[in-house]
Amino acid sequence: MFKFDLLNYKTSSYILLFLSLLTILFDVTYLNQLLFVAVLIFSILQNIMQYRFKTVVSSIVALIVIYLQFKLSENTFSKEFFLNLILILVFIKFSEIKNKKDHYFFNFTVIFLTISSLIYGQDFLSSINSFLLMLVSIIHLYSLNQKKILNINTKYLFKYLSISLLILPIMTLVYFIFPRYEINIKIFDTQKNTLGIPETLKLGSFTDISDNNQTVFIYNNDQNQTSNNPLYFRVKIFDLINDAKFWITTPNNNIVKHFGKTHKIKKNDSPFIEEAKILIYPNDKTWLPVLKSFDYDNRLVNNDFLNGTAISVKKISKKKKYLIQSSKYSIDYNKEFLKFYHRLPSSLFSQKLINWSNELRNTSSSDIDYLNNIMKHFANGEYYYTLSPTVDKTNDYEKFFFKTKRGYCEYYAGMFAILARLQNIPTRIVAGYLGGEYNDRGNFYTFKQSDAHSWVEVYTDDKKWVRYDPTLVIPNKNILSFNNSSLQSIQSTQMDNDQEINKLSMLKLYYDYFDYTWTNKFLDYDTKSRDNFLKTKIKNFELQKEVYIIIISFLLLLLLYKFLMLIFQRKLFFNLFFNKIKYQYNIINKPLTHQELSKILSKKEKNSLSEIFKVYEKSTFSKKYTLKLSEFFYINYKIIKYHYFNRLN
């Protein structure tokens, strides 16, 4: 005997309460977390205490919390705001629980929260949490109604299990074949997020976005396992500096309008095409990260061959997998067009800087030598890498270069580009992500927002854009604070190689791997995947003879089983027999005994069918009577002959 011990419904309601908190807790700010914990404590106390005007107090608290939540959501009616409100509703409902009816409402609200929270994130951990919530809410529903736990007899266990197993084919069918539609009803926009790269680049514009540990995308290249070269993912190109010394992106339309004839797109003839996967996390923006000389293989992505970047047609509102492959096209630049890349309003900079640049150029043998000398200048030990340089609202690059000498990637990249452009060298700033955290279990790189980086590209005489990353030349001892984990690892590749990976980071590694697999294999299944799946299955269906064989042999076995059971139980078709007589004499609805029926029959019929009546009497009324196999076949044969062919003999 198996006994399922189900919990008391009050305990399960507490578990539901805490699991509900966990669904959202890690996706909100610390202040919001504090608010949730405070409301949770209030609801538990309110639930325990008994006093008058409980509902009034709850309502007042609810109104205050809604106001505070609105303030914490930066005064916006965002999706997150409403999701948080559902959690608050769960808490308030818990505080007001008096009877079982309230428990039902509480339970349904929790299920509502479970499903709606999944619209925002379906990573491995939140999925487990949701499944747990569902399980506990089912237990809660049971415990609400029953005082006793059902003892399931082993005899029935198989029956219950077989019913439970029905879920598998149903799930598979619904999951693989059920229609899916992509309808993104945008009623409320998501809260202002800091994922991505700023629209314009000025000193300090990375400060707000780099202090963020959220995952931005995952890169996976099965063909090229681990490469020693750091991965530079491009997101935006800043090719123009305006009068306020802001680096901006020139829209492609403008470039085509002014320099349309000065550059050509040509097709590459490289036979080798390298492919890799990118899994983008939702950011509600259109930019996509791409490696140099790679393009997106997707109709809904516009590849910008001029800048080597890509933009999605739709905003990315959920996790999405993309395929990138070696670029099939490259750009042929005209000298005229290259002048665009050394535009620099000289009036913006002081004579001191221009003189410094000219002096360095004069001492350098070539443009390349000049650029290398700038790099050496940054590496001379006077410059420091810090995430909190003195904030300067005037956006003064010269102050950084000559005085403060403290900054991070965009300071160095911006300054480097200005110095290059002062000597008419075609330069542009590239902003994107550098490094990424490598996961050796799943062979993929996770890029976080803190991996945001900017560097410079210079067009050389070899007709190529060459990458210069002035941030990387800052000596190790001059790095004061950093977010980009890869920055240090790239600089000191051999330093901590022997350091033991502790258990916690191993756990994180495995978690990331499971999460990646979960997302890649399960969550990524969408309309397109379903169409492809069905197409391939229907096309290959004829080939799969095994499926037919399995189905037919199963049916045959079933038939054989039925037949054997018929023989084993010696089942005679008396129903057919009596129905036939009733049908013949038009007395279908009359409840007559076999004796009454036999009286109706004609003499001829009586004589030929008397055997069947005798056997019926014996088998029904005598306990000792056992039917012989030959008799079983003979009687059934007679019945069938009589029923279907109307033959008496």
Partner 1 sequence: MISKNWEKFVTKYLIKRSNLHKNKLNKKNLYIFPNSNGFKLGAFIFFSFTASIFYQNNVGLLISIILFFVYFLSIIISYQNLNNIKIDPLTTLVPQNKNVYLDYLIHSLNDRERLNLNISNNESNIKNVDLTNQKKIAFKNTFLKRGVYEIPTLKLESFFPFGIIKTFGLVIFDQKLHIYPEPIKPPQELIKNLMIVNNLDENDYEFDRIEEASPGESLSRISWRHYSIKNKLFSKKFISTENNKEILIDIDLLNKKNLEKALSNAVYLIEYYYNKKINFALKYKEFTSKYSNSLTHKNDLLKFTANV
Residues that bind partner 1 (CB under 8 A): 104, 108, 111-112, 114-115, 118-119, 122, 127, 130-131, 134, 138, 141-142, 144-148, 150-151, 153, 156, 163-164, 166-167, 170-171, 174-175, 178-185, 318, 522-523, 525-527
In whole angstroms, the minimum distance from the beta carbon of 171 to partner 1 comes to 5
In whole angstroms, the minimum distance from the beta carbon of 322 to partner 1 comes to 16
The sign one gets for the Cα dihedral 295, 299, 305, 311 is negative
Per the CB < 8 A criterion, the answer to whether 74 and 192 are in contact is: yes
In whole angstroms, the minimum distance from the beta carbon of 169 to partner 1 comes to 11
Of the two residues 146 and 254, which places its CB atom closer to partner 1 in the complex?
146
Q: What angle do CA 108, 111, 116 make, to 5 degrees?
A: 125
Of the two residues 126 and 357, which places its CB atom closer to partner 1 in the complex?
126
In whole angstroms, the minimum distance from the beta carbon of 118 to partner 1 comes to 4
How far is Cα 446 from Cα 383, in angstroms, rounded to an integer?
A: 30
φ and ψ at 166, to 5 degrees? Answer: -55, -30
**Residue in 600, 597, 615, 612 with CA at minimum distance from that of residue 642:** 612
Structure tokens at 509: 């590694």
In whole angstroms, the minimum distance from the beta carbon of 155 to partner 1 comes to 8
How far is Cα 272 from Cα 616, in angstroms, rounded to an integer?
A: 83
Structure tokens at 365: 């043998």
How far is Cα 110 from Cα 93, in angstroms, rounded to an integer?
A: 10
Of the two residues 89 and 417, which places its CB atom closer to partner 1 in the complex?
89
Per the CB < 8 A criterion, the answer to whether 35 and 72 are in contact is: yes
* First vs last C-alpha separation in the chain: 55
In whole angstroms, the minimum distance from the beta carbon of 525 to partner 1 comes to 6
Of the two residues 230 and 282, which places its CB atom closer to partner 1 in the complex?
282
Of the two residues 78 and 127, which places its CB atom closer to partner 1 in the complex?
127
In whole angstroms, the minimum distance from the beta carbon of 640 to partner 1 comes to 29
Structure tokens at 595: 């004796």
In whole angstroms, the minimum distance from the beta carbon of 106 to partner 1 comes to 12
Of the two residues 53 and 178, which places its CB atom closer to partner 1 in the complex?
178
Give all strands (DSSP E) within 87-192, no chain letters: 151-152
φ and ψ at 553, to 5 degrees? Answer: -65, -35
Per the CB < 8 A criterion, the answer to whether 456 and 393 are in contact is: no
Using the structure block, give the residue that is written with the tokens 């030959």: 630
How far is Cα 323 from Cα 331, in angstroms, rounded to an integer?
A: 22
In whole angstroms, the minimum distance from the beta carbon of 532 to partner 1 comes to 14
DSSP-assigned states of every residue in 481-502? --S-HHHHHHHTTTTTTTPPPP
In whole angstroms, the minimum distance from the beta carbon of 409 to partner 1 comes to 37
Of the two residues 74 and 182, which places its CB atom closer to partner 1 in the complex?
182
Residue 159, CB half-sphere, CA atoms under 13 Å: how many? 5
Of the two residues 305 and 525, which places its CB atom closer to partner 1 in the complex?
525
In whole angstroms, the minimum distance from the beta carbon of 286 to partner 1 comes to 19
Q: What angle do CA 68, 69, 73 make, to 5 degrees?
A: 120
Distance, C-alpha 79 to centroid of its chain? 17
Of the two residues 125 and 348, which places its CB atom closer to partner 1 in the complex?
125
Structure tokens at 239: 């090719």
How far is Cα 336 from Cα 359, in angstroms, rounded to an integer?
A: 27
Give 206: exposed, middle or buried? Use CB within 10 Å, 0-12, 13-18, 19+. buried
In whole angstroms, the minimum distance from the beta carbon of 149 to partner 1 comes to 8
In whole angstroms, the minimum distance from the beta carbon of 59 to partner 1 comes to 23
Per the CB < 8 A criterion, the answer to whether 233 and 310 are in contact is: no
Of the two residues 12 and 210, which places its CB atom closer to partner 1 in the complex?
12
In whole angstroms, the minimum distance from the beta carbon of 111 to partner 1 comes to 7
Of the two residues 121 and 414, which places its CB atom closer to partner 1 in the complex?
121
Of the two residues 123 and 295, which places its CB atom closer to partner 1 in the complex?
123
In whole angstroms, the minimum distance from the beta carbon of 99 to partner 1 comes to 13
Of the two residues 318 and 618, which places its CB atom closer to partner 1 in the complex?
318
How far is Cα 604 from Cα 584, in angstroms, rounded to an integer?
A: 15
Structure tokens at 555: 């049916």
Of the two residues 528 and 537, which places its CB atom closer to partner 1 in the complex?
528
Using the structure block, give the residue that is written with the tokens 């059920």: 178
Of the two residues 15 and 640, which places its CB atom closer to partner 1 in the complex?
15
φ and ψ at 80, to 5 degrees? Answer: -60, -35
In whole angstroms, the minimum distance from the beta carbon of 151 to partner 1 comes to 5
How far is Cα 401 from Cα 394, in angstroms, rounded to an integer?
A: 14
Give all strands (DSSP E) within 228-382, no chain letters: 232-238, 240-241, 247-248, 263-267, 275-280, 287-288, 290-291, 294-296, 301-304, 309-312, 320-326, 329-333
Structure tokens at 268: 């590459």
Of the two residues 525 and 634, which places its CB atom closer to partner 1 in the complex?
525
Per DSSP, 392 falls in state: -
3-state helix, strand, coil in the chain (%, to 5): 55, 15, 35
Q: Can you give the C-alpha Rg of the chain in angstroms?
A: 38
